[in-house]
Copies of this chain bind each other. A is one copy, B any other.
Amino acid sequence: MNKVMLIGNVGREPEVRYVDQGVAVARLTMATTERGYVLQNGTQVPERTDWHNVVLWRRLAEIVEKYVHKGDKLYVEGRIRYTTYNDKHGVKHNVTEVWAENIELLSVRPRPAASDGGAAARPSQPDGGSVTAEDSQNPPF
């Protein structure tokens, strides 16, 4: 298991690229903030913000392209990935990314129920196959 769950705000406009065969890939930065507090011995632990590099592929990248903007509040679920590369000067660099497996847009205003809008990533029905009203009811057991 390698699971990450983040709720935070998008730092700037996401970047979206299309690579071979039209596969979309998006990249965004997202801040999570931990409240400061005082320890029992009186030490002040200040507020802390961490900036996450989030990478999204395909359907999630397309959702980002359409609906996610700087300042939006986002829920991201994914995996941590560490990459190492050497730059032109032979200096080693470490990059840590969160590769999203699911997102939820927390800034999206409640919509009229008659329109999905497509703005939310709903992993429970990923196949988008033909579906009936039974879906929202109990299974037939």
Contact = CB atoms under 8 A, between A and B. Distances in A.
Interface of A: 1-8, 15, 17, 19-23, 25, 27, 32, 34-41, 43-48, 50-52, 55, 57-59, 75, 78-83, 91, 93-96, 98-99, 101-102, 110-111, 113-117, 120, 122-136, 138-141
Contacts of A6: 1-3
Contacts of A134: 19-20, 23, 25
Contacts of A1: 5-8, 32, 75
Given A35-B120, A44-B114, 10 more contacts: A1-B6, A37-B117, A38-B115, A39-B125, A50-B79, A58-B131, A79-B124, A96-B96, A99-B124, A123-B123
Contact of A50 (B5, B52, B82): B82
B17 A141 contact: yes
Contacts of A5: 1, 3-5
Contacts of A39: 116, 125, 131, 135
Given A130-B41, A132-B41, A140 B19 contact: yes
